[in-house]
């Protein structure tokens, strides 16, 4: 159940949905994510769900934006 919930949370952040990501950051805070990553006895699917959520919340939107804008330049006038 919880692994599927985390997958749903990660899907809400698809294509840089910042409003959903901000709401999820208030719901699943940094302490929970760090505890889940460091926990020795957490099951594989649950651990994978937390990793995917961490990537979707904090890394994926930035990486996608940088990939799209890599050929854009600012020309001073």
Phi, psi of 38 (to 5 degrees): -85, -15
Q: What is the pLDDT of residue 34?
A: 84
pLDDT confidence of residue 63:
83
One digit per residue, the tens of pLDDT, for the chain of length 77 reads 788 888 888 888 877 787 888 788 888 888 888 888 888 888 888 888 888 888 888 888 888 888 888 888 888 87
Cα dist from 39 to 14, 45, 57, 70, whole Å: 27, 13, 20, 37
Per-residue pLDDT, 44: 83
Boundaries of every domain in the chain: 11-68
């Amino acid at each position: 159940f919880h692994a599927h919930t985390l997958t749903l949370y990660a899907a809400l952040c698809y294509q840089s949905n910042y409003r959903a990501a901000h709401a999820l950051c208030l719901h699943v805070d940094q302490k929970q994510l760090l505890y889940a990553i460091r926990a020795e006895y957490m099951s594989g699917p649950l651990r994978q769900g937390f990793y995917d959520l961490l990537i979707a919340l904090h890394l994926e939107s930035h990486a996608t934006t940088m990939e799209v804008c890599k050929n854009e330049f600012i020309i001073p006038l």
